[in-house]
Amino acid sequence: MHPHSGPRALALIAAFKFVKSTLLVVLATLLFRLTRPEAGAEFAAWLTALPVATGHEFVAHALHEFLGMSPHTIGFLAIVALAYAILYAIEGFGLWRNARWAEYLTVISTSLFIPIEIYEMARHFTPMKLGGLIVNIAIVVYLVRLLRLQLAAEHVPVAPPS
């Protein structure tokens, strides 16, 4: 891959997208494995043995919900995770290459999730959710500002040569 030639912040956003993509591929792989009944039973036994699974009502409820999912639902979640991984990889690649289409794509896709993140944070606040929301808002604001500057630079009238 060619070295990044655009603003350093674009390289950081691209790296962030690549990390998210990689984590989602790992998650999708694990979820696909859990669609096999024997793997699901082993995972359930391992999860319920963890200290975090006891004494925390929220965690216990989440584990109960997850362990009650059908293999079909788990497979669907794996496909969704893989689809988002592909989207983030495309965004990261385009941002790394300093492609304007990637800036637009990232603004649109990231902006679409902000209302969902706000809703989820209102339902159950965690500092991690707040941090994710702040990072996503910062990415959108930065990219919109960058796009506006680029468009303004393209439309600057050039004085005719004398």
pLDDT, tens only, 16-62: 999 999 999 999 999 998 888 777 778 777 776 777 656 667 766 77
Q: Which two tokens stand for residue 57?
A: 């009502």
Tallying the residues shown for the chain, one arrives at: 162
Question: What percent of the residues of the chain are helix, what percent strand, and what percent coil, each to the nearest 5?
Answer: 80, 0, 20
Distance CA 4, CA 73 (A): 39
pTM for this predicted structure: 0.78
The structure tokens 């024997």 sit at 38
Q: What is the mean pLDDT of the chain?
A: 86
* Residues 47 and 30: beta-carbon distance below 8 Å: no
Stretches in the chain below the pLDDT threshold 50: 1
